[in-house]
Every structure is written in structure tokens, then in C-alpha cells.
Amino acid sequence: MSRKSQIHIAAVIKVVLLCVSVIGIWYVYKNWVIRKKDKLRMLELRERFTQANDKITRLFNFEKYFSFREEQHFFNEFKDLRKKIPSDINRLDLAEDFSVIIQNFVNTYDDATLVREQYNNQFIKKEAAAFAYLFNQLEDYPLSEDQIEAIVRDEDNNLVIAGAGTGKTTTISGKVAYLLEKGLAKPEELLIISFTKNAVNEMYERCLKFCKHIPDANNLDVRTFNSFGYLVRRHCSETELHLAFDGDDQAAKAFLQETFDKMFLTDADFQKKAVNFIAFFNRPERDEFEFETRNAFLKHEQSFKNITLDGNKVNSKEEMEIGNFFCLHGLNYEYQKHYPLQPEDRQADYSSYHPDFYLTDHEIWHEHFGINRDGSVPSWFKTKPPYPTGKDYYQAGIKWKEQIHAKYGQTH
């Protein structure tokens, strides 16, 4: 390579290095300017960050429950502040105390839902201990942990699902006592609603018992749903209202019957829906598998009359619904018509055969089997030797019936 070429290459390299240096210096300067602006912006927001952290301190000071509404308010109040924090904030070389403030805000804001849940779980435990003196003297027996949690958990909306006799009245009355004792509400600010007058009277008496040491506890407003609705309607109406039927239940029933009869005869859509309801939904649902004994099931069934729309008395709710279906669709049938068997098909294990339904116009036999989707039967179904279980015995009967219909060539 000639000396001239070497000089040319060296010159090119110098130019390239100069360009790279200029670009590098420009890049460093630009980032320095950006960092300076970001740092200045953060410093200008210091008071706002301090306000946010003060709010966080108040929300997590274990003086009150942190509700979902407060979480949403926190999000909305500081969402603009969160957006102004650069992702690479650590490069701004902020003072350590200021960096801690910002990081605390970011951690709380970004994980607020989880942090709120963890805080509330701790709050419930602390509150249960702090108000143990109140909870322990409400009843002769100590409240359960679930009852105490239901009392202390002060969410915007609280749904407590509990069966009969599990202490719902005690829990609600205990919550009233807790709210008043802690100063979260005044007696006149609370509304307690129940379904019946007896429940309302019991609730009011229980609340007064639990709140006997609280001034003006007798100002608690405990009402039925109807009473509260009437109160609201009366105060919101321009004219005075009067209670329908003057509280006469018989007059109310007569009005409902008269209205039903009128709509049934004049409104085809209502008539269709009413007939459908009477035919298929006029008694509570029940699952045979929920009963532990045959006697329990029979006692339940005997409390209802299984009579089809065309007047046939049948043995079960399901048979009544099947009979009603046939009736509504104009299918003539006989209930438990005797099925004639040849001598060789008569077995000692089974009595004379009476299928549930026989569609007379179509010569179709209809059997209803008391099994679930996997072929199981309720545990209280009886059995006979040599069948070890009620399921085995019942399934053998199903198989025998299917074989009979197949042999006789009849639809079933």
C-alpha cells in the first residue's frame, strides 16, 4: 500500500472517529438535558409526592378498614402523578430521602389491590383483639371468627351467606354495636332492614341489648322492607298515601285472587305463563339425593299433593310434571296401566308391572327412572339379595324392563 493511500485511510478514520465523538457527545448531552428536566420536574412535584405518601400513611394506619371505594379514589387522585414518573428514575440522582418517598408511592400505587388485601387481613386481626372486650360480652358464648370478621370487615358492600341458626341476627346486631362503639356512625345514621315484623322486633331488642351502654341507641331505625319502602314513598310523594287494604291480609289475598282470575281470562300471554308455572314450578325444588332416609323423603313428598292438571294423583313431583306435559300437549295417557306379561316373564323379584305412563293414542309406554346422570340412585333406595346395593337392584330392574319391551317389540 502506498504512503498516499495510508494517509487517506488515516484521514478517513479520523473523520469517522470525530463523527462518532460528536454523536456521542451530543447523545450524552441530550441525556443530560433530559435527566435535568426530569429531575427538575420531580423536584417540582415533591410536595405532591409528600401528599400522596401522607394519604398512604392515613390509609394504612390501622385506624380503619381500607375499602374498595377508597382504593379507587386513591387511584383516581394520583393517576396523573404516577404517569409523570419516568421509568428510569434511578438515573436522576435524587436525594435519598426523596427517592424513598417516590419509591414508596410507586410500590403502593402499582400493587394497591394486593397491598390493600394484606393490610385488611392484618387490620381484622388487630381490630378483633382491640374490641375483644365488646365481642366477648355480647352473648353468653363467644362469637366465632367468621362472625367477628363479618362485623369488622367494613367494605362498601358486604355479603354474608349463612344458614338458619348460625347467628345472623347476633352478627348484624354485633356490627351495629361495633359501628357505634368505634364512632363510625351515630344511631340515627343506621338503617337495619329485615323481612318480617318478628325478625325486626328481635333485631331491635338484640341491638338495644348490645348497645345498652351507648347513648341514644334507642334511635336506631329497624324496619321491614315494606315499611322502609312505604316510608320513602310517603316522604317522596306530593300527596298523602294510605296503606292498601288497611293491613287486612284477607282483603289483600282477595284482591290478588281477583286480579289473577281477570288476567288469566283476558291476557293470553299471562295465561300461558301461569299455566306453565302451575304445571312445572308450583312447589319447591328438591333433590332426592339430599335425603338421608326413605322416611325423610316420604315425609317431604306427603306435604305436597302430586296431582296433574287433568286430576290424576301420581307418586312424585317428576311424574306430575310429566303428566302435566302430556296434558298441555294434548297427549292422552293412562297412569300406571297394567302391562300384561307372559307366564315365563313373571318374576318373583318384581311385582306386576305397571309402567308410569301409557300414551293410548300412540301405544307408547313411558317409564321415569329415579337416577342421576351417572346412573346412581339415592343412598336410601332399598335393595334385595343378591344385589349388594340399592343402585345394583334398581339398575337390574331397569335392565329387566328394557328387555321386556325389546322382547314384546313395543316402544318405550
Q: Kindly report the CA angle at 207 between 206 and 210, in degrees rounded to 5?
A: 85
Phi-psi region of 24 (alpha: psi -120 to 50; beta: other; left: phi over 0): alpha
Cβ-contact 405, 345 below 8 angstroms: no
Q: Which CATH architecture has domain 137-232?
A: 3-Layer(aba) Sandwich (3.40)
Please answer whether residues 210 and 174 qualify as being in contact, where contact means their C-beta atoms are separated by less than 8 angstroms.
Answer: yes
Cα separation values, 28 from 14, 25, 90, 410, Å? 21, 5, 17, 94
Q: Which amino acid is at 344?
A: E
142 contact partners, CB below 8 Å, separation of at least 6: 135, 136
Average pLDDT of the residues in 170-176: 94
Note the pLDDT of residue 267.
93
Farthest CA pair distance, the chain: 126
Q: Which residues are annotated as a binding site for ATP?
A: 162-169
C-beta neighbour count of 384 within 10 angstroms: 10
Gap between the terminal Cα atoms of the chain: 106
SS3 content of the chain, % helix, strand, coil (to 5): 60, 5, 35
Q: In this structure, which long-range contacts are made by residues 293-301, counting pairs with CB atoms below 8 Å and at least 24 apart in sequence? A: 293/380, 294/380, 294/381, 294/382, 296/380, 297/378, 297/380
Residues present in the chain in total: 412
DSSP class of residue 372?
Answer: -
Q: Phi and psi at residue 358, in whole multiples of 5°?
A: -130, 115
The model's pLDDT over 366-387, given as tens digits with 9 standing for 90+, comes to 999 988 888 888 888 888 888 8
Assess whether pLDDT exceeds 90 at residue 331. yes
* Residue 245 grid cell: 287494604
The residues with which 194 forms a beta bridge, in sequence order, are: 224
The ranges assigned to domains in the chain are: 16-123, 137-232, 250-281, 332-408
Task: Report the distance separating Cα 302 and Cα 313, nearest Å.
Answer: 12
Maximum mean pLDDT: which of 19-23, 208-212, 369-373: 208-212
pLDDT of residue 86: 81
CA atoms within 13 A on the CB side of 216: 9
Residue 325, pLDDT > 90, answer yes
- Sign of the Cα pseudo-torsion (153, 155, 161, 165, in order): positive
Which ranges constitute the DSSP H helices of 267-343?
268-280, 294-302, 317-328
Q: Is the peptide bond before 386 cis (omega within 30 degrees of 0)?
A: yes
pLDDT of residue 113: 93
Q: Who wins on pLDDT, 196 or 247? A: 196
Binding residues: 162-169
